[in-house]
Amino acid sequence: MKRLRQNKIRYRSIQTALTLVALLVTGYMPAPAMATTLADADELLLQGKYKDAEDMYRELVGEDAAGDAYAGLVVALAKQNWPAKILEGEKLLKKAKEKFPDNPNLIAAGGYVSYVHSKTVASPAKRDLYLEASANLCQKAIDKNINLVLAYQTLGLVRMAQDDFEAAVPPLRKAATLAENCVNLTMLAQALLKLDPKDKDAEDLVEKALKLKADYPAAHLQKAIVLTNKGKNEDAFMELHNIADSQRNSEWHTVEGNIFHNQGDGPSALQSWNKANMEDPRNPEPYRQKAEYYALRGDGQLAIGEYHNALEILPNDFSLRDALADLALREDKVDVAEAEYKTILDAKPDDPKALLGLARVGFRKYRKEGTYPPDFTQLMDKLTNVITEQNALANKSVTGSVVKEGARNLQERIEASEAEKAIAQNRFRDASKIFINQIEKHREDPYELINISDSCFMEGDYRSAEKGYTIAKEMTEVSTRAEQGLSKITNQRNEAIRHTKLGDAMWKIPEAAIDHYKQALSADPQCAAAYFGLFEIYSKTDKQDPSQAIDYAQKFLETSDDSNPQRKEAEAALAKLRKRENSGKGK
């Protein structure tokens, strides 16, 4: 450890995996006869001269009395990223562990090889197995040597690969504490920024890393991310393009795409994200970014496809599944949303967001089919208990980092579920109040505003959707998307008006009139004129049905303006119908 610090290690690769090299030998005490030679081999490894380091380590393994030369050789092979080399490294590990089963460096090297191997397999299941094996080996190495930086680094990398950045922070923080160099500081900053894009500690870590090594590409990349998150897109672009072409990997192109997107250049953003996927097809972040971009652009089907691409890489990323399910609900793909929420609940039975999502699915199905799904009552009982527990915990203390962008907090999910419930119970005004409240809370957030407006539109609350889109139309980032939403509302309303007029003209054929009124409601679920027409059909023609008349009169009163002159007629008729109905029940 001391020897490494004194050498003032310099790093030149943006590849995250290279960070492990610098501290590979941390924690080992070489035999005196081999110290100089091992130091030379280690230096070659630090310089990125993996083949030269491999050759030198090969000369040393015959004299290796502790297993450290084997550990160096294994990592030198793995760093060359050739499948044959990785396989050879695994064979050497097996041979070395037979000789030196308790050497923590070898155990940590085994964890690193498993991590590298996880990036070479196509199967998500195999990838998960390699990552878990890596984590287990790292923990075993830490149990033997609590100061083994390599093990902490690898463990942090594994958790980041699993998209569990909260779990990645403790081992990466420990690595930075043990060896405060530019690599460890940058990796810790990366994890913190994933949890909170505006994390001040992360910004400080990046600045400290650049003071230690001004030309460290990975730190410049994270600084570009910091600047992007602060809205300083021009500065971020300059920072990003100061990184040499040879160091521009998949993550670099992803960040470039994010900057283009923030500047309103969608085509360039897509080009960069596609380039990121070409560089590394197993990087899920570009797929996620494309999904969010397509969703905001109004291309829901394309967005769903990109979410599925990301989930093929990270099938256990429940935030991705939640985003996909939420989008599917906005696109009225209820079966897709239901399947995703159930997948989340299979792994996390008490996840409040998934339970709320499944409740919204139930309300949506009731509106479409007239019945709730099986076990819906049990679901609502469980949801009530989980929400009560969550609120109790929240009242005690508020801890943890801010979740990634685009996710609604739990309270807003509860409100969305209440709005869905109100609509299912034909309490349209109560639902509208909830939606309008959410729009007002997010009137400065263009992307969340569009999401809420889309949800209002899908629920048939065009008034709330219109308000949200009208506000969003003034925001450059989403103005086109908002105009598209307003155009859809206009088209749907015009279609509803057309069918309502046809219904009004066909009273002599009540069946035909009813059909047109219902088609009007299909176009605009809160078309007051269509509800009034149905109310009159069922109260004044030979199709009289007091129960139906009462139902449509109530819906008319819920959807019509207070100034609508027909409200008095509907209210008076409704009172008579209810009195007649109650009188009939008394007999």
DSSP one-letter string for 531-580: HHHHHHHHHHSTT--HHHHHHHHHHHHHHS-TT-THHHHHHHHHHHHHHH
> What tokens appear for 570 in the block?
């509907």
The whole-angstrom separation of Cα 418 and Cα 522 is: 22
Which pLDDT belongs to residue 204? 96
The whole-angstrom separation of Cα 293 and Cα 302 is: 10
The whole-angstrom separation of Cα 180 and Cα 163 is: 24
Which pLDDT belongs to residue 409? 67
The pTM for the full model equals 0.74
The one-letter amino acid at 399: T
What tens-digit pLDDT sequence spans the chain (587 residues)? Answer: 333 333 333 333 323 333 333 334 333 334 444 444 777 887 776 555 788 888 998 988 888 888 888 888 888 888 787 878 888 888 888 888 888 888 998 999 999 988 988 887 878 788 889 999 999 999 999 999 998 888 999 999 999 988 889 999 999 999 999 988 888 899 999 999 999 998 999 999 999 999 998 988 999 999 999 999 999 999 999 999 999 998 899 999 999 999 999 888 989 999 999 999 999 888 889 999 999 999 888 899 999 999 999 998 888 888 899 999 999 998 889 999 999 999 999 999 988 889 999 999 999 888 888 888 888 889 888 888 887 776 665 555 444 433 333 334 678 888 888 998 999 999 999 999 999 999 999 999 998 899 999 999 999 999 999 999 999 999 988 898 899 999 999 999 999 999 999 999 998 899 999 999 999 999 999 999 999 999 999 988 877 888 899 999 999 999 999 999 999 998 988 888 887 766 655 44
The 8-class DSSP code of residue 112 comes to H
Which distant-in-sequence residues (6+ apart) come within 8 Å of 151 by Cβ? 104, 107, 108, 111, 138, 139, 141, 142, 145
Question: Cβ(272)–Cβ(84) under 8 Å?
Answer: no
Which pLDDT belongs to residue 327? 92
Look up tokens 């810790």; give the residue: 188
> What tokens appear for 34 in the block?
């081999």
> CA 4 from chain center: how many Å?
39
Which pLDDT belongs to residue 401? 39
Question: Cβ(218)–Cβ(186) under 8 Å?
Answer: yes
Domains of the chain: residue spans and CATH? 1-179 (1.25.40.10), 317-393+408-425 (1.25.40), 503-586 (1.25.40.10)
Look up tokens 């509860």; give the residue: 414
Which pLDDT belongs to residue 26? 37
Which pLDDT belongs to residue 404? 37
Q: Where are the alpha helices (DSSP H) in 427-523?
A: 428-441, 446-458, 462-472, 479-504, 510-523
The whole-angstrom separation of Cα 501 and Cα 505 is: 6
CA distance readout (Å), 251 to 58, 277, 282: 34, 9, 11
Which pLDDT belongs to residue 405? 36
Number of Cβ within a 10 Å radius of residue 41: 27
Which distant-in-sequence residues (6+ apart) come within 8 Å of 73 by Cβ? 54, 57, 58, 60, 61, 89, 92
Closest CA to 94 of 119, 115, 114, 124: 114
> What tokens appear for 157 in the block?
């990398």
